[in-house]
Structure 1
Amino acid sequence: MHGVPPPAPRLSAPVNSPTTLRAEESEERLDSFVAARVPSLSRSRCQQLIESGQILVDGKTKRSNYRVRAGETVEIRVPPAAPVDLRGEDIPLHIYHEDDDLVVLEKPAGMVVHPSAGHGSGTLVHALLHRYGGGLATIGGEERPGIIHRIDKNTSGVMVVTRTDRAHLGLAEQFQKHSLTRRYLGLAWGNVPASGDWLDPLARDPRDRQRIAVVPGGRRARTEFRRKEELPGPASLFEAELHTGRTHQIRVHFSHHGFPLVGDAVYTAAHRSGRLKKEAGLRLIAGKSPELYRKLTALHDGGRQFLHAHVLGFVHPVTGGEMRFESPLPADLREILGLWTAIR
């Protein structure tokens, strides 16, 4: 395992003007090295820049997982933002339900919900436009047609999209009143309590604006949870219900209480206790199941947190009918869980 680098200068990333960094320590991934020092760039955006040759090490292109060596110079160039292309793209969608007013679907891990900086194509919005054309609610904005809520890029699960403005307004009221049912399955390092109800307020982390943190005076956030299974490591499979829907809410609450999600590189790094639990757990697993160890390492390096939105319930905003949908764990998480339970 690699140690956490010491505090580094925090820089901005000027468009079309190179930023140069000099590595003082070795063995940190290139994408993590840049993201930790240039807060305006997310790790996923760094990976895109690396792949397109905009980030160089001593003048040469490298892969995102290249381990930066002490003394090397990293040059970063951010090209001007391209106009967002909102033409539909033929991207397959897993649909649970669709009618004239809304769509319930499965968002896979790795897919961004709507266009944003660094994500001008390949989003859920592009897939929806291909399937429905102009048949999506527009009240949410031109770049977010039909989008009433989001799921993190590297989280999978069930979500609802609106096709009419009347449905959008009706669901927005349910989100505002927190009357929907939203439950997630997750896997965290450590012995999570049998049950709990966390109310820690959340806001942008004053030390790192790319992250969310528990901040006194932040926005109200409530996560209710119950442990479903204890696993070697130790680790805990849990179900969490969102009573509010703050950015990264489950990830931040669990990390803050010392139980970072498996695979969550961002919030595992936020607290020393969480890092130590992950490292101890991986050491134990490496000796019991090399296959599971490899998959967990790949999960963490890819930033794919073990978190899945598996239940969504709401009242249909037009018909008034009760709607409830359940999504099983996707194959990647199901395989990891199967390997984990087998080593007991």
Structure 2
Amino acid sequence: MTEDVEEFTEDDELYEHHRIVVDKGQSLLRIDRFLMDRLPNASRTKIQAAIDVDSVRVNGNLTKASYKIKPLDVITISLPHPPRETDIKPENIPLTIVFEDDELLVLNKPAGMVVHPAHGNWDGTLVNALVYHFQHLPTSRNGNIRPGLVHRIDKDTSGLMVIAKTEYAMTHLARQFFEHTIERTYNALVWGIPNPPVGTITGFIGRSVRDRKVQTIYDDETKGKWAVTHYRTLEELRYVALVQCKLETGRTHQIRAHLKHIGHPLFNDAMYGGDRILRGNPVGSYKAFVDNAFKLIPRQALHAKSLGFTHPRTRQWLQFDSDLPSDFQAALDKWRKLLDNSQ
């Protein structure tokens, strides 16, 4: 599966592999030549290619192969895979499993849990838990160690995930993701009331040139990958709304970027600007109310609520639904109470 399986086969994150602080006495030298001497088995062509795809930074900034390094420059080299991805520590972390058989399992991931070990998050991840609880889980394509994973959801997004327990299930489920036959709906609490209340958001999603951690929407196919989100407003709550999002594609941060693109960022989504008051006058008792709502759900208000797919062996359609987690429900109820009190 080399295509666009949701957030799994995409190079959606960059992990730091090398950090080099240039010596005080270093003379001016092109960065590609400098790195050839510092990195074993790295050709100049490979280094230039890494620079071209923004994997090399100097003092936190993008650079060019012609840049001449200076004393005390900090050079970082980041790649799309964790530097220790073959070193996964099994951990006895409880899992909320809603379905399991010999081929697969469906679980409800809590908010705050990272799916795969990465720079800064080597422990406490879903993969660490899977390696502990289930032996001989299949790996992904090209030998990368991602036990059982055919898709991912963000650290601070909660909800349903399917995990493959056999190579056959891995291949079959990955094909369903690629062909967009997996049905996934998310519940999102957003700022503002979408108009129209039902619609489809499209565009090419790619990394922002200003912040590589953030995805943005382009109208140029060379800058991103095509993405489609269907949304439906479930409940209007004056300043916010409960929205259902149905994914047709599965790009990195797709819902978060799409909803910001149409002017309705997720409630308390710090990365996409939803962690400040975007509707209503941000003063007095209303400001205190919103601040308290932020405390109830200290993350983006996004939950993977339903998941449907064809079972790899039986070919039976399986459909799963999950309740909103307590933090999401508490914030939603607080907004409902505010609306009731104002009527």
- With the length of structure 2 as denominator, give the TM-score of the two structures: 0.71
User: CA separation in 2, counterparts of 1:147 and 1:317?
Assistant: 15
Change beyond 3 A, Cα 1:39–1:229: farther
CA shift at 1:89, angstroms? 0.3
CA shift at 1:138, angstroms? 1.9
Q: Deviations over 1:230-255 (max 9, x none)?
A: 113x1111000000000000000110
Match of 1:213? 216
> Could you say what secondary structure the match of 1:200 adopts?
strand
Structure with the bigger RCO (C-alpha within 8 Å, sep 6+) is 2
- Asked whether the 8 Å contact 1:230–1:236 carries over to 2, the reply is yes
User: CA separation in 2, counterparts of 1:326 and 1:281?
Assistant: 33
Match of 1:294? 292
> Could you say what secondary structure the match of 2:89 adopts?
coil
Code of the residue aligned with 2:256 in structure 1: it is: R
Identity %: 40
Q: Deviations over 1:86-134 (max 9, x none)?
A: 1310101000011111010011111111111211111101101111122
User: CA separation in 1, counterparts of 2:167 and 2:241?
Assistant: 41
User: CA separation in 1, counterparts of 2:84 and 2:174?
Assistant: 28
Code of the residue aligned with 1:139 in structure 2: it is: S
Matches within 5 A, 1:243-262: 243-262=248-267
User: CA separation in 2, counterparts of 1:336 and 1:229?
Assistant: 14
Larger radius of gyration: 2
> Could you say what secondary structure the match of 1:196 adopts?
strand
4+ runs deviating over 3 angstroms: 37-40, 81-85, 139-142, 279-282, 288-292
User: CA separation in 1, counterparts of 2:213 and 2:256?
Assistant: 14
Counterpart of 2:272 (choices 243, 246, 267) is 267
Matches within 5 A, 1:10-49: 15=19, 17=21, 38=60
Code of the residue aligned with 1:116 in structure 2: it is: A
Match of 2:242? 237
User: CA separation in 2, counterparts of 1:89 and 1:246?
Assistant: 29
Counterpart of 2:183 (choices 181, 184, 193) is 181
CA shift at 1:171, angstroms? 0.6
Matches within 5 A, 1:4-15: 15=19
Match of 2:12? none
Runs of at least 5 residues in structure 1 that lack an aligned partner in the other structure: 1-11, 19-36, 41-75, 269-273
CA shift at 1:142, angstroms? 4.2
Match of 1:226? 232
User: CA separation in 2, counterparts of 1:108 and 1:172?
Assistant: 23
Change beyond 3 A, Cα 1:130–1:195: same
CA shift at 1:209, angstroms? 1.7
CA shift at 1:297, angstroms? 5.1
Runs of at least 5 residues in structure 2 that lack an aligned partner in the other structure: 1-15, 23-58, 63-73, 77-81
User: CA separation in 2, counterparts of 1:282 and 1:77?
Assistant: 44
- Alignment of 1:203 onto 2:206: yes
Q: Deviations over 1:48-95 (max 9, x none)?
A: xxxxxxxxxxxxxxxxxxxxxxxxxxxx999xx984541310101000
User: What's the C-alpha RMSD, in Å, of the aligned pairs?
Assistant: 2.8
- With the length of structure 1 as denominator, give the TM-score of the two structures: 0.71
User: CA separation in 1, counterparts of 2:17 and 2:314?
Assistant: 49
User: CA separation in 1, counterparts of 2:162 and 2:308?
Assistant: 10
CA shift at 1:208, angstroms? 1.9
Matches within 5 A, 1:20-99: 38=60, 83=84, 85-99=87-101
User: CA separation in 1, counterparts of 2:135 and 2:203?
Assistant: 41
Change beyond 3 A, Cα 1:15–1:192: same
Code of the residue aligned with 1:259 in structure 2: it is: H
User: CA separation in 1, counterparts of 2:176 and 2:332?
Assistant: 33
- Asked whether the 8 Å contact 1:187–1:261 carries over to 2, the reply is yes
Match of 1:137? 138
- Alignment of 1:283 onto 2:286: no
User: CA separation in 1, counterparts of 2:338 and 2:296?
Assistant: 19
Change beyond 3 A, Cα 1:280–1:197: closer
User: CA separation in 1, counterparts of 2:253 and 2:127?
Assistant: 21
Aligned length: 267
